[in-house]
Each structure stands twice: as structure tokens, then as C-alpha cells.
Structure 1
Amino acid sequence: MSTSPESSPKRAEPAGRHFEPDLRSMTRINLRPIASPMPVGFFAVAIASIIVGSMQLGFFGDDAHRAVALTILPAFLLQMIVSILAFGARDVLAATLMACFSGTWLASSLVLALDPPAGAKVLGVLNLVFAVFAFLMATVAQRKRVMWFVLCVAVPRFAVAALFNLTGATWLGYVSGALGLLLAGVAMYAAFALMLEDMRGQEVLPIGRRGPAYDAVEGDLTVQLRNLERQAGVRRTL
């Protein structure tokens, strides 16, 4: 004897379980366009690097430490703002790099201004750790060529600066200063190239994007929104 679907008893749901409907068709994700903050971030790197490099090369004399500290202090604030905006733009590489640069400038400024005991050696360890961090960042930033070049110069610059702080060797200070000016030149180029690209809507000076970094600028809106549901701020956990 068969039982029709109409006459068959309904299976009761287990107590305490709640079945949610498929919410994908009702979900809307709103994105807020912002101007790229990276030119400001790279300009801040360039300016602070020129000031510190000039001090290490002896251009300011022996009593310029406090003036240099006050001059590079704004770089901390500028790059912190850039980092916050980059996190909002969902660029974790740029945001992390700018935040760590910001903290390094702040620490350097405070040590130069206050001249605490063993401050030079502590600053040397900080520079060494930053050099290691910059190297790790460079290994994953190759598709963002402009950032990669900045990191490739930042690694030896901060490594030599660390050795100078730890040993006090005068010639290492000169090498660190020269590398600081080189870092400033690369960062200045990066800032200017990105600013021109943003103003004209196309690449003017070579930047060398590849892979997802290239698609993010040259791709259409479909490419921009690919895997959006898996990005931080949209997914449930970080």
C-alpha cells in the first residue's frame, strides 16, 4: 500500500535547530571609492630619508639631532593616515608597509630628540628588525613592482643603519646616508609615477605591475569584485 505525498506525515525539525534561508540574493556590499593615498606615503618616505641621510652624511653638523627629530616627526603622522586609508582600500601590503614605516619614524624621532641611554643601540635593533621585515615584504610584493623596488632599497639601507647604530663606525654612517638618499630617490619616483597615473587614468611612467596588481588597474569591474566575499571586512572573521 503506497502513501501519497499529501497524506504522508511531515518530518519534524530537531528541537533547537534553525534553518536560515539563502541570503546571497538579498546581500548588498557597498564600496566607497577613495583617492590613492600611496603618493603621500612614498613622498613621506622620501622626505624623511633625505633628512636622516643628510644628517648621517654630516651635512647638518654634529648638533642637528633634535632638529632632525622634529623634522621627520610629521612623516609618522602622514604615513599612519596613509596606512589607515590603505586598510580601507583593502590593500594589506601597502597598509602594513606604511604602518611599519610610520612606527619606525616615530621611534627614530623620539630617540634622536630625547637621546636616552643606550638609545643608539636600541635604535640599531629596531632598524635591523625593520630590515628583516622589509625583506619579507619584498618576497611577496614582486607583482607590485614600484613597492618592490622601494623595499629592495629599504632592506640594505636599514640593515646598514642598524650596523652603524650598533657599532658607531663612521664609514657605516656615510654608507647608510648614501643609501638613504637612494631610497628617497626611488620613493620620490614611485610617488610621482603613481600620482601621474591617478591624475591621467593611465600609466605614464613605468610602474611594472603584474598579475593581480595589473588586473586591479587595467581590469573591469568584474575583476575588481572577484572573491570580494572572502576579503577582510566582508568575511565573518579575519
Structure 2
Amino acid sequence: MADEPALPARIVLRPIANPLPLGVLGLALATTMYAALQLAWLDPEHGQVAAVAALFFTVPVQLIASVFGFLARDAVAGTGMALLAGTWATVAVITLTSPPGATNAGLGTVFVIAGVAMLVPAAPAWAGRAVPAAVLTTTAIRFAVTGGYELTGSGAWEAAAGVVGLALAALAVYAALALAFEDMKYRTVLPVGRRHAGAAAMSGSEHAQTETLTYEAGVRRQV
């Protein structure tokens, strides 16, 4: 019996909006609230407000951004947003169940580990988009410094965590604005630092965007 001809395989792509502006704005809210506590702009009793804001605003929007990041075939965005959502959920729950202003060595350890983990999506991000990469890298620094404060209870560590937290918030807002303009205008309006594959994502041909689909997760046989 002659071999039957192979049937063609079709891959269907569905356009979606860039989920990163939503995710990094959630980050901006959480890091600003906790920075205000660390810099004593808010009384320690307001820690519950920061925790509730992180738990019911930041975590859900970052989970949404993570899911759509993976659906957009962007492992960096999906992984980074998922790590952020998990970290902020942990921080919020511990804040809600701890005395106001208390430090926690266990939470400090979580922060340090989360900071190291954030470097995993940050490293490949530098190869394509500098601004999102800077957000992820600064987040790693913010988590590490906050971990130092939680582990030591040092006022210097606390102040440093607050300052880095505010810098991160400003960078996150800029990234959200730049990426939102880019998605609306279909071109770069504010610099995002795209290069190599990141630049080709905005200016490359349709063929250039899809020529590697065979090798992507969900198409290849093994993840």
C-alpha cells in the first residue's frame, strides 16, 4: 500500500493587545504603596491598605498580563508577570497577618529568592527590549534590597528599599506609557530600546514574524 500524502498543518494566530502596560501599572501601584511605608510617608497601620491594594489590584492584573503574555508567545512577559503576581500575593498576605511595621526574616528570604528569580526573565529581555528589561532588573534589585531590610531590620536598608521602589514605579509608568503608545500607533513613539528581534517585531515582515513558529512551544512536540 502506497504511503498516503501528509496532510498540511495549519497554525492560527489571534491578534491580542500588548499585556505589559497592564502588568507594569499594577507593579507601579504596589511598589509605590510599599515605598511610602518604607519611607515613613504613611503610618505603619496603613500597611493593610497597601496589602489589600496589592492583593486585589496588582495580583489580578499581573496574572492577566502573564496569561496573555504566554498567549502572545512571549515567555519573558509571561514568566516575569507570573513571578511578580506570586511575590506580591505572598507579601500582601504576610502583611495582613503581621503586626504593623514588623519585619519578618521568612519574608526577607522570599524577597531575596524572588529577586534572583526575576533575573531569569530579565536577562533575555535585554536582547530585545531595554525598557521592559530595565523594569524587570530594577524589580529584582527592589526585591533584593527589601529582603535585606526584612532580614536585618536596618533603617538604612528600609530607606534604600523605599528609594528603589519609587524609582521602579517611575520606570514602570514610563514603560506602560511607551508600550501603550506603541500598541496604539503601531510604531515607536517613546523609546522602548528595541533591538535585534525586538526591533524586527515592530518593523519586520509577516514572514519574518512567523518563520520560526515550527520551533515554538505549542507547535513543536515537546515544550
Taking structure 2 as the reference length, the TM-score comes to 0.93
| 2:217 match | 232
Query: 1:97 aligned to 2:80?
Result: yes
Aligned partners of 2:197 and 2:106: how far apart in 1? 38
5 Å matches for 1:35-114? 35-73=17-55, 74-114=57-97
Relative to structure 1, is the Cα distance of residues 20 and 111 closer, same or farther in structure 2, using a 3 angstrom cutoff?
A: farther
Structure that is richer in helix per residue: 2
Query: 1:135 aligned to 2:113?
Result: no
Q: Is the 8 A contact 1:229 1:235 kept in 2?
A: yes
The residue type paired with residue 177 of structure 1 is G
Q: Is the 8 A contact 1:228 1:234 kept in 2?
A: yes
Q: Is the 8 A contact 1:48 1:72 kept in 2?
A: yes
The CA deviation at 1:155 is 2.5
Q: Is the 8 A contact 1:111 1:119 kept in 2?
A: no
5 Å matches for 1:1-238? 21-23=5-7, 26-73=8-55, 74-115=57-98, 120-142=104-126, 143-238=128-223
- Return 5+ residue gaps in structure 1 as ranges: 1-11, 14-18
Aligned partners of 1:217 and 1:193: how far apart in 2? 13
SS in 2 for 1:64: helix
The residue type paired with residue 92 of structure 1 is A
Give the % identical residues. Answer: 36
For the pair shown, the structure with the greater C-alpha radius of gyration is 1
Deviations 1:81-131, CA, capped at 9 Å, x for gaps: 110011111100100000000001100000000118x97111111110111
Q: What is the RMSD of the two structures over their aligned residues, measured on CA atoms? A: 1.8
- Return 5+ residue gaps in structure 2 as ranges: none
Taking structure 1 as the reference length, the TM-score comes to 0.87
Q: Is the 8 A contact 2:132 2:192 kept in 1?
A: no
The residue type paired with residue 30 of structure 1 is V
